[in-house]
A and B are shown apart, each in its own frame.
Chain A
Amino acid sequence: MIEVDKLWKKFGRTDAVQDLSFAVPEGSAFALIGANGAGKTTTIKVLMNILEPTRGTASVLGVDSRKISPRELAQIGYVSENQDMPEKLTVAQFLAYLRPFYPNWDIELEKSLLRQLRLPLDRKIGDLSHGMRMKMSLACALPFRPKLLVLDEPFSGLDPLVRDEFMEGLLQQAGEMTILISSHELGEIDGVATHVAFLDEGKLLFQESMSDLVGRFREVHVTLDHNGKPTKEIVAPPFPKCWLGIRTVGNVLSFVDTQFSESDVNERLRSLVGHVKTVDAQPMALRTIFTTLARASREGALQ
Chain B
Amino acid sequence: MKSIKMVWHIFKKDVRLLWPFVLGAAGIQFAHAAVRYALDQAGAAEAQTLSMLLQVLTPVSQLAAAFLIATAVHQDAVPGVRQDWLVRPVRRKDLLFAKVLFLLVMVHGPILLADMFEAMAHGFPLGQALASAITRSLLLLGFLTLPALAFASLTRNMTEALIGGVILFFIISSAFQLIVRSGHQSPLLQTGLGWMGGLSVASLLFLGAAVIFTMQYFRRKTTFSRWLGAGVVCLGFLTYNLLWQWQVAFALQERLSPAPGAGRSILAVYAPTLGKFWLPEGVNRNNVTKTNAGTRYEASTVYVPVHLTGLPDDGVLNADRSQVRLLALDGKLLYQGPGDNLLVRKQGHQGPIFFTIGSFGFVRGIKTNDLSVPQDGEAWIYHGIPLPRDLYPHLRNQPLRLEIDYSFTLLQGGTSYIPALDGKQVLPGLGRCTTKMDDDGDDIDFHCMKTLPPPSCASLFLEHVPSGRRNPAVFGCQPDYAPFLDQLVPDGIARFGVGLRFHDLYGLAKFPVEAGDLPQSRVVVRAYQPQEHFTRQLVIPQIRLSDWESVEHTQLAQNH
Contacts and interface: CB of A to CB of B under 8 A. Distances in A.
Chain B binds chain A: yes
B89 A86 contact: no
B5 A100 contact: yes
Contact of A76 (B6, B80, B87, B91): B87
Contacts of B6: 100-101
A48 B84 CA distance: 12
Interface string A61-90: 000000000110110101010111110110
A134 B13 CA distance: 22
Interface string A8-51: 00000000000000000000000000000000000001001111
A101 B85 CA distance: 11
Given A100-B5, A100-B6, A93 B87 contact: no
A70 B82 contact: no
A84 B9 contact: no
Given A86-B13, A88-B17, A97-B13, A48 B87 contact: yes
Contacts of A171: none
Contacts of B9: 97, 100
Contact of A89 (B17, B81, B82, B87): B17
Contact of A86 (B81, B82, B84, B87): B84
A170 B331 CA distance: 91
Given A86-B75, A100-B5, A51 B87 contact: no
B89 A85 contact: no
A89 B16 contact: yes
B82 A48 contact: no
Given A97-B9, A101-B6, A71 B89 contact: yes
A255 interface: no
B16 to A, nearest CB: 7
B121 interface: no
Question: Most chain-A CB neighbours within 10 Å: which of B6, B16, B83, B87?
Answer: B87
A246 interface: no
B353 to A, nearest CB: 70
B162 interface: no
Contact of B82 (A73, A76, A84, A97): A84
B90 A82 contact: no
Nearest to A89: B17
B88 interface: yes
A92 to B, nearest CB: 12
Interface string B246-269: 000000000000000000000000
B16 A93 contact: yes
Interface in B75-132: 75, 80-84, 86-91
Given A88-B17, A100-B6, A50 B86 contact: yes
A51 B5 contact: no
A86 B17 contact: yes
B89 A74 contact: yes
A265 interface: no
B13 A73 contact: no
A50 B81 contact: yes
A45 B91 CA distance: 18
A83 B75 CA distance: 13
Task: For chain A, give the interface size range.
Answer: 20 to 34
A158 to B, nearest CB: 19
A70 B87 contact: no
B77 to A, nearest CB: 8
B89 A48 contact: no
A98 interface: yes
A82 B5 CA distance: 30
B86 A48 contact: yes
B75 A70 contact: no
Question: Most chain-A CB neighbours within 10 Å: which of B6, B9, B89?
Answer: B89
Nearest to A150: B87
Contacts of A73: 87-90
Contacts of A70: 89-91
Nearest to A51: B81
Contacts of B86: 48-50
Contacts of A74: 89
B272 to A, nearest CB: 75
B89 A82 contact: no
Nearest to B12: A97
Contacts of A83: 82, 84, 87
Interface string B47-85: 000000000000000000000000000010000111110
A51 B87 CA distance: 12
Question: Most chain-B CB neighbours within 10 Å: which of A49, A78, A80, A97?
Answer: A97
B253 to A, nearest CB: 48
A225 to B, nearest CB: 59
Nearest to B13: A97
A43 B80 CA distance: 16
A20 to B, nearest CB: 18
A78 B87 contact: yes
A88 B74 CA distance: 13
A89 B13 CA distance: 9
Nearest to A79: B87
B84 A84 contact: yes
B347 to A, nearest CB: 67
B89 A101 contact: yes
B82 A82 contact: yes
Question: Most chain-B CB neighbours within 10 Å: which of A48, A49, A70, A93?
Answer: A70
A180 B16 CA distance: 34
A238 B174 CA distance: 69
B87 A50 contact: yes
Interface string B1-22: 0000110010001001100000
Contacts of B13: 86, 89, 97
A86 B17 CA distance: 8
A168 B89 CA distance: 26
Contacts of A48: 86-87
17 contacts: A48-B87, A50-B81, A51-B81, A70-B91, A71-B89, A73-B89, A73-B90, A74-B89, A76-B87, A80-B82, A83-B87, A84-B80, A84-B84, A88-B17, A98-B88, A101-B88, A102-B89
Closest A-B pairs by Cβ, 4 of them: A70-B89, A78-B87, A74-B89, A73-B89
Interface of B: 5-6, 9, 13, 16-17, 75, 80-84, 86-91
Given A51-B81, A73-B89, 16 more contacts: A50-B86, A50-B87, A73-B90, A82-B82, A83-B87, A84-B83, A84-B84, A88-B17, A97-B9, A97-B13, A100-B6, A100-B9, A101-B6, A101-B88, A101-B89, A101-B90
